[in-house]
């Protein structure tokens, strides 16, 4: 194609140097590292992303945290600005994959440093309104050795999926292999972040953690991994609609379809205390993830269906299944008749016994097969006399023991003087039967008086 040079208009100086003609896109302080698997069941965890980000810059995780991230955090999670004293933070590094303040603060800072807008999906922040912290995350790292091995052989990026950080996930979603928590070489538990964390390698002995295996798992563990993986894969769609009231509506719908609004029957079917389930049903409390997963497993629906209120339990719950989980209607046992005369006579006999043989009121109640409060309610005077008599005997024994200890101290000091040795407290303790009695003021006072008396004779 011929170009007419004469028709080309040269840039003027104003056009050439005008910033409006050449807009410079914003630059990130750190590498714009793309997270792995966003929108899939095997999305990367935030601790894994932090480790990869450190390695992409050729520095240790401790250096990245202490020198780059820590100064920008709104709250103090790392007390020292250097890489020292990071152990308390590493011990709670699993919280980065959760939804608390540490996770939200780190996501905000890392989004600022990398100019990424997807890092909250590497955590459980989108599920803040429906999850509870207790029993949610593993404190120590878990991994699938087969995944590590295959990624290394295929020259793929090695990382830790968010799914592996959930405490309820026991198996790998892809290989159905039980997740491993101990290094096969040094047998230690590994934290999610460490000074020199390296994905796929032990942070203690630096050995490779991948290997091949053909272990199979039970159906329920496989189902749990699949349903939680499905939930994580739909995080972006669910994050804007999930609220605590959402779970309450799901429970109301499920109870209506399964037990015809019988809350106690529904709780008994799933072996949940009635008061506990009532708190979830009424929206006063939030159920732990493990309880939600178990209920969904019993109902033969996925957790995503439960949260999306896509429930059609009438077709799932056939007659045989309802009979299998039938609500047990146990009758309350009749009240027991108390023989008050027998109880009173027994207490009187016990009170007349020698002081050294007196049992406690709890032991007496256990012997009579009644509650301790029954004795205190019907026979307060007898119980008070037994307790007083027993305490008096214990006090007398205690004073006798202190007196014996004081005598032993005097003898020990005299013995050490004869040997020409200074009676220090440690040497005296070696010669008496109960050195722990030195904690009593009377014993210590006697020791000091004996030492002063010894020094005055020198």
Who's near 239: CB < 8 A, 6+ residues apart? 126, 127
3-state secondary structure of 194: coil
Nearest to 238 by CA among 34, 39, 31, 442: 39
Who's near 303: CB < 8 A, 6+ residues apart? 227, 228, 230, 231, 292, 293, 296
3-state secondary structure of 205: coil
Backbone angles phi, psi at 161, to 5 degrees: -65, 150
297 in Cβ contact with 223 (< 8 Å):
yes
163 in Cβ contact with 169 (< 8 Å):
yes
Return per-residue pLDDT of the chain as tens, 458 residues.
455 656 655 555 555 555 555 566 778 889 999 999 998 999 999 999 999 999 999 999 988 988 888 888 877 766 655 555 688 888 899 999 998 889 999 999 999 999 988 899 999 998 888 888 888 999 999 999 999 999 999 999 999 999 999 999 999 988 888 999 999 999 999 999 988 889 999 988 889 998 887 766 668 888 999 999 998 988 887 766 677 777 888 888 888 888 888 888 888 888 899 899 898 888 888 889 899 999 988 888 888 888 877 666 654 444 444 544 555 555 555 666 788 888 889 989 988 888 787 888 999 999 888 888 989 988 999 999 999 999 999 999 999 999 999 999 999 988 888 888 888 888 888 888 888 888 888 888 998 888 888 777 76
Helix axes 274-281, 244-259, angle to 10 degrees: 120
CA torsion, points 94, 97, 103, 108, in degrees to nearest 10?
Answer: 130
All structural domains of the chain with their residue ranges: 26-166+175-215, 243-324, 341-457
C-alpha 458/C-alpha 448 separation (Å) is 16
What pLDDT, on a 0 to 100 scale, did the predictor assign at position 252? 87
C-alpha 128/C-alpha 284 separation (Å) is 16
pTM of the model: 0.66
What pLDDT, on a 0 to 100 scale, did the predictor assign at position 320? 44
Give the up-direction half-sphere exposure of residue 75: CA atoms within 13 A in the CB hemisphere. Answer: 11
C-alpha 102/C-alpha 133 separation (Å) is 13
Residue written as token pair 């009979």: 323
Chain centre distance of CA 113: 30
């Amino acid at each position: 194609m011929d170009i007419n040079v004469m028709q080309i208009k040269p840039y003027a100086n104003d056009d050439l140097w005008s910033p409006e003609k050449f807009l410079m896109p914003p630059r990130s302080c750190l590498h714009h590292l793309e997270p792995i698997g966003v929108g899939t069941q095997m999305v990367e965890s935030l601790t894994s992303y932090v480790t990869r980000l450190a390695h992409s810059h050729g520095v240790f995780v401790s250096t990245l945290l202490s020198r780059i991230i820590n100064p920008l955090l709104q709250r103090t999670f790392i007390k020292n600005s250097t890489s020292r004293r990071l152990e308390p933070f590493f011990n709670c590094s699993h919280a980065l994959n959760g939804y608390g303040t540490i996770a939200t603060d780190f996501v905000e800072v890392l989004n600022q440093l990398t100019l990424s807008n997807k890092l909250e999906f590497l955590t459980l922040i989108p599920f803040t309104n429906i999850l509870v912290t207790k029993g949610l995350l593993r404190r120590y790292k878990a991994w699938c050795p087969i995944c590590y091995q295959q990624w290394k052989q295929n020259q793929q990026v090695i990382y830790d999926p968010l799914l592996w950080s959930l405490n309820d996930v026991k198996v790998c979603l892809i290989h159905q292999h039980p997740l491993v928590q101990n290094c096969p070489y040094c047998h230690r538990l590994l934290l999610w972040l460490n000074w020199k964390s390296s994905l796929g390698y032990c942070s203690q002995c630096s050995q490779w953690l991948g290997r091949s295996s053909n272990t199979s798992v039970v159906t329920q563990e496989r189902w749990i991994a699949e349903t939680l993986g499905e939930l994580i894969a739909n995080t972006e769609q669910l994050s804007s609609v999930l609220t605590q009231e959402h779970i309450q509506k799901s429970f109301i719908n499920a109870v209506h379809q399964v037990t015809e609004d019988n809350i106690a029957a529904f709780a008994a079917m799933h072996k949940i205390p009635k008061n506990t389930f009532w708190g979830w049903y009424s929206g006063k409390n939030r159920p732990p993830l493990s309880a939600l997963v178990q209920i969904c497993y019993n109902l033969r629906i996925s957790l995503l269906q439960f949260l999306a209120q896509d429930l059609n339990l009438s077709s799932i719950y056939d007659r045989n299944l309802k009979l299998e989980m039938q609500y047990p209607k146990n009758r309350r046992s009749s009240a027991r008749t108390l023989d008050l005369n027998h109880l009173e006579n027994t207490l009187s006999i016990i009170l007349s016994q020698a002081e050294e043989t007196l049992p406690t009121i709890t032991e007496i109640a256990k012997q009579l097969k009644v509650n301790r409060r029954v004795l205190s309610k019907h026979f307060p005077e007898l119980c008070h006399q037994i307790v007083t008599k027993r305490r008096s005997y214990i006090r007398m024994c205690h004073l006798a023991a202190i007196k014996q200890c004081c005598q032993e101290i005097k003898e020990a000091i005299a013995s050490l003087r004869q040997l020409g040795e200074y009676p220090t407290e440690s040497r005296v303790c070696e010669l008496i039967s109960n050195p722990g009695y030195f904690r009593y003021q009377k014993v210590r006072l006697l020791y000091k008086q004996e030492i002063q008396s010894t020094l005055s004779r020198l």
